[in-house]
Amino acid sequence: MTVCKGVVKDNVVVLEQGARLPEGANVEVRVIEPPSGGEDPFKRLLSNPITHWVGMDEILEEEKEDREKRWDN
């Protein structure tokens, strides 16, 4: 199975540069949606760089606080 990525423009799938499919090939299109709710974790990490050593205890505590905040909304 060949996997190609692309975007929809005017209701037509435009494949990424260099991707080629044989004429008449049967295809299946799956829409990839960004994760719902919350900020992109990579953007969050890049906007808040780690400036000191962080241990697992600190990471777990921050995750616990984040989960508690989400459930309060």
Each residue of 13-69: pLDDT tens digit?
899 988 888 999 998 888 887 666 667 778 877 887 777 787 888 888 888 888 887
pLDDT of residue 15: 92
Would you kindly state where each structural domain of the chain is located, as residue ranges? 37-73
Distant-in-sequence, close-in-space partners of 40: CB < 8 Å, separation ≥ 6 = 34
Residues present in the chain in total: 73
Taking a C-beta distance cutoff of 8 angstroms, is the pair 32, 17 a contact? no
The Cα–Cα gap between 13 and 1 comes to 18
DSSP, collapsed to helix, strand or coil, labels residue 13 as strand
Whole-prediction pTM: 0.41
pLDDT of residue 66: 84
